[in-house]
Amino acid sequence: MNSWQDNLTAILRTVTGVMLLKNPLDTAMGVLFGVILQGLATVFGPFIERVTNLRISVLNFLHYIALGMFAFNIKNFAYRHKAPPEILAEEISNKSSRLA
């Protein structure tokens, strides 16, 4: 694999760990907020589209859930602790050796 793919995988693993394992309450509330937001957009969508020229109808429920999860976990993304470079380098080398 390329080094940028390894770095992307390490970042995605960190983000997934933060969202699902370290902060399940905010993630669950974000999913609930996304579902509620999707319901509101379904009810008020035609009015919003007529008034503002925004096409809300092209978004499906996964977009709203992702938006809710991001909104409720943004403080964790902004204030997460940086891992020491030695740990990240070791994780990437372990992953590369498993693939070979």
| Residue 79 DSSP one-character state | T
Asked whether the CA dihedral 70, 75, 92, 20 is positive or negative, the reply is negative
CB 64 within 8 A of CB 38: yes
Where does 17-84 have alpha helices with state H? Answer: 24-52, 61-78
The pLDDT tens digits of the residues spanning 32-65 come to 999 999 999 999 988 988 898 888 888 898 889 8
Confidence of residue 29 (pLDDT cuts 50, 70, 90): very high
CB 65 within 8 A of CB 34: yes
Backbone angles phi, psi at 55, to 5 degrees: -95, 85
| Integer Cα distance of 15 and 9 in angstroms | 10
Q: What's the total number of domains in the chain?
A: 1
CA Rg value for the chain: 18
Residue 70 clears pLDDT 60, i.e. is over it: yes
Containing structural domain, residue 52: 3-99
